[in-house]
Structure 1
Amino acid sequence: MITSSLVYIYSLAFLAAFFNLLEKKTSLKIFKFIPVVVFIYAFSMLFASIGVFDKNEEIDSIYKLAKINLLPAMLFLMLLQVDFTHFFKLGKSLLISYVLAVLSIAFGFVFVAFVFNFDTQSSAAFGALAGSWMGGTANMIAIGSALGVGEEAFGYALVVDSVNYTLWVMLLLFLVPFASYFNKFTKSDEVMDKFSGVACACDMGAKKYWLLILLALGASAFSQIIAHNIELLNQTTTIVLVASILGILGSFTKLKTVNGSSEIANSMLYLLIALIGSKAVFDSFSDVSFYVLAGFIILVIHATIMVIGAKIFKLDLFSIAVASLANIGGVAAAPILAATYNKSLVSVGVLMAIMGYLIGTFGGLAVGNILIFMAK
């Protein structure tokens, strides 16, 4: 049993690094279907369940300290990559598709919460999931922390995210050969050739890790100071909002072009996932099927609205599919789908997915608070 806080945090860091390296250095196909964050969470939870981590004050203290400092730092770095200039150059079809995707996902969550009559904890968990499906796992953690989602409920949301996301990616890839038929149905023009010049500058130049770490920790400290003195909703929500605003402001400066923010942010994300998993001990998995079913219905609603919107606005399959996966799949999946249409369009998927870092936090908080209000 691990009783030392130093060994505890080192063990979690080792676990996160192990699965990250396993994904990058091997060609295991399982990582194409199950994201690495799920393995990190699952094994961290497994170790906690079998009693590897002692439940003492020292470990509880380092858990809270690491989580509250890493969360705003990660958000700040994620949002530095947002590129508003290039995003708004995507054109009417892609922008309409993106807005339609965000709104249809939000509506799907509200509708399902109403039908299933969620309690407060389920509402908070699905609010966190909404953040993931509008942005990414980083947004899920931020919103889950802000809304006070318990470790077990967060685990269920992560399972839904993984299962439904995998099925959604497979469906969208399956539909690629049928794009011409869909475009005839919507009477749309193919817009793919217009965007070969669109690019993201966030991965160019030398990697300046130390500068970015210093800035991220500074943003974290500043966010906590502001939250301690000016509480908007609750302290964690205030920290999330302030860190997000700092990241957005930084994206308008030369910091946007400093390479390395993505790697550091992902490292923080993996450690946060391991931390949360280390406090999750499931009594049973009986509620997982309920969560997965609710997630599946949300996707059906989202897909229906996207097809109707494509017919009304004459949108092509590429536009609505990439916009959808940029939200639900994020940076890991949207570029892959874009490349299946045309390899020169990878950057379009990247840009739309990166915008989700911004939309996911604010949109997820909005949806989460609506769901919680409905549950009361």
Structure 2
Amino acid sequence: MIQNGFSYAAFLIFFASIVIFAEGKSKGKFFKYVPALVIIYFGAMLFATVGVWAKNDATTAAYKALKDSLLPAMIFLMLLRCDLRQIVKLGPKMLIALFTATLSIMAGFIVAYGMFKGSFPEGTWKSFAALCGSWIGGTGNMVAVQGALNVADSQMGYTLLMDSINASIWIMVLLWGVSFAPKFNKWTKADTKIIDEIGAELAKSQAKVSKEVSFPDLMILLGLSLFVSATSKYIGTFMPQSMFLSGSTWTVLIATTFGVICAMTPIAKIPGAAPLSNVMLYTIVSLIASRGDFAELGQAPLFVLAGFVILAVHAIVSIILAKLLKLDLFTCAIASLANIGGVASSPILAAAYSEALVPIGVVMALMGYVMGTGCALIVGKILSIM
């Protein structure tokens, strides 16, 4: 049994690296259906359940120090790709579709929680808020909300289970719907010419960004992100505290603000933010999973059912909006997946329609990173008073 804090953290990072390496080298379809993130989470949870490490003062201190420090740094790096000036180029209809998709997901969480709250364990509203962050932005937003609301690590198993099962099925539904686009667009009387023009313009601007990552690039991004993390934590201690706005909540919000601002500066053009933020993300997910226990996942089916209720509310609102605003299926589907699937999935769906539309999927998904944490905290506030 591991007793030392450093050995505990080293084991988790090593395990995550093996899974990610295997995914990169795999030529089969296993990782297509079971993403590395899911394997890492449940693998670390399994190790914790069988007692590979002790949950003593040393491992707890290592967990808290790493997670609390890396989280704001990761948020900052992820948001460096979210230039609000590019997002504005999407035009009013696409932005309306994106914001409506976000609002319908938020409403879905409120409806689902209201339906099943009597059967959920105490404090489930916090884990629902965390998942809402993931379904608006991404896993980074989920762990940001988890940190901001101090969600118990044992409850995060449910959120990842919903994120894996419900979201995966929804992605399959949206990909299946590509073949129905002509009929859907005819039903809504949509015009797709402007989408093709926007996609071509965004592709040109993204082609100018350097893809080669150098050692100085990584060092400046690492140093800057850690400095932002330390600064955000320091400023957070001076902000007004309440039951909902704790120091950790302020830290997340301040780091988000730094990221959004720096995304509109030359800092955003430094290559390497994506892989570096992913290193931090997978480390944080491993840490969170390491405090869980499979014995606490007895109510998983109820949570999965709640996930389908959320998606049903989201789908109904999206279809109604498409008919009212004469939106095409691509716009509705990308707005949905930009929230629920994020940067990893929305370009795939966009490419299923046309490769020229991939940049639109990327930009819309990046917008989710900006909105995810704040919107999820709003949902958490509403759920906490229900």
Q: Alignment partner of 1:332: what SS? A: coil
Alignment of 1:5-16 (within 5 A): 5-16=5-16
Cα deviation, residue 203, structure 1: 5.3
Letter in 2 for 1:196: A
Residues 105 and 310 of structure 2 are in contact (CA less than 8 Å); yes or no, is this contact kept in structure 1? yes
**Cα distance in 2 for residues equivalent to 1:2 and 1:203:** 44
Asked if 2 retains the 8 angstrom alpha-carbon contact of 1:203 and 1:260, the reply is no
Give the distance between the partners of 2:209 and 2:308, measured in 1 at CA.
34
CA contact (8 A) 1:206 1:258 kept: no
Q: 1:204 is matched with which residue? A: 210
CA deviations 1:68-110 (Å, max 9, x no partner) are 1000000111111102111111123321211111111111111
Partners of 1:253 and 1:128 in 2: CA distance: 30
Structure 2: any 5+ residue segments left out of the alignment? none
Amino acid at match of 1:197: E
SS of residue matched to 2:123? helix
Shift of 1:205: 4.6
Q: Is the 8 A contact 2:137 2:368 kept in 1?
A: yes
Q: 2:157–2:297: 8 Å Cα contact kept in structure 1?
A: no
Deviation at residue 336 of structure 1 after TM alignment:
0.1
- The count of aligned residue pairs is 374
Checking the alignment, whether the CA contact within 8 Å between 2:69 and 2:226 is kept in structure 1 is yes
Is 2:46 the counterpart of 1:46? yes
Name the residue aligned to 2:347: 335
SS in 1 for 2:201: coil
Q: Please, which of 246, 250, 256 is the counterpart of residue 244 of structure 1?
A: 256
Letter of the 1:33 partner, please give it. Answer: Y
Identify the range of structure 1 (250-259 vs 223-232) with the bigger mean alpha-carbon deviation: 223-232
Deviations 1:247-279 (A, max 9, x none): 111112111111110111111000000001111
The aligned counterpart of 2:222 is: 213
Structure 1 runs (4+) deviating above 3 angstroms are 199-203
Shift of 1:198: 1.0
Pick which of 148-157 and 173-182 moved more. 148-157
Question: Counterpart of 2:186?
Answer: 184
Alignment of 1:76-91 (within 5 A): 76-91=76-91
Alignment correspondent of 1:275: 287
Return the letter of the residue paired with 2:159: A
d(CA) in 2 for partners of 1:24 and 1:197?
31
In structure 2, C-alpha distance between the alignment counterparts of 1:147 and 1:311, rounded to whole Å: 38
Q: Distance in 1 between matches of 2:226 and 2:240?
A: 20
Amino acid of the residue matched to residue 94 of structure 1? M
How much has 1:8 moved relative to structure 2?
1.0
Deviation at 1:35, TM superposition (A): 2.5
CA distance, structure 2, for counterparts of residue 41 and residue 126 of structure 1: 18
TM-score (norm 1): 0.96
Shifted more, 19-28 versus 194-203: the winner is: 194-203
Deviation of 1:120 (Å): 5.1
Alignment of 1:103-122 (within 5 A): 103-117=103-117, 121-122=123-124
1:118-154 Cα distance to aligned partner (Å, 9 max, x none): 5651111110010000000010001011112111211
Report the counterpart of residue 72 of structure 2 in structure 1.
72
SS of the residue corresponding to residue 60 of structure 2 reads: helix
Q: Which residue of 2 aligns with 1:164?
A: 166
Report the secondary structure of 1:295's partner residue.
helix
Q: Find the aligned partners of 2:31 and 2:366 in 1 and give their Cα distance.
A: 21
Equivalent position amino acid for 1:133 in 2: W
Code of the residue aligned with 1:225 in structure 2: it is Y
The answer to whether residue 51 in structure 2 is matched with residue 28 in structure 1 is no
Q: Percent identity among equivalent residues? A: 43
**2:365 corresponds to:** 353
Partner residue, 2:139:
137
Q: Does 1:230 align with 2:215?
A: no
CA contact (8 A) 2:138 2:369 kept: yes
- Structure 1's unaligned 5+ residue stretches are none
Amino acid paired to 2:352: T
Return the alpha-carbon distance in structure 2 between the equivalents of residues 27 and 152 of structure 1: 33
The aligned amino acid for 1:84 is L
Is the alpha carbon distance of 1:262 and 1:98 closer, same or farther for their aligned partners in structure 2, counting shifts above 3 Å?
A: same
Root-mean-square deviation (CA, aligned residues, Å) is: 1.4
1:30 Cα deviation after fit = 2.3
Taking the aligned partners of 1:27 and 1:146, their CA distance within structure 2 comes to 38
Partner residue of 1:193 out of 185, 193, 196:
196
Give the letter aligned to residue 226 of structure 2.
L
Q: CA deviation at 1:197?
A: 2.1
Q: Is the 8 A contact 2:154 2:296 kept in 1?
A: no
- 3-state SS of paired residue (2:74): helix
Q: Distance in 2 between matches of 1:49 and 1:136?
A: 27
Call closer, same or farther: CA 1:196–1:102 in 2, change over 3 Å: same
Query: Which of 141, 149, 152 matches 2:151?
Result: 149
Matched residues in 2 for 1:320 and 1:205: separation? Answer: 30
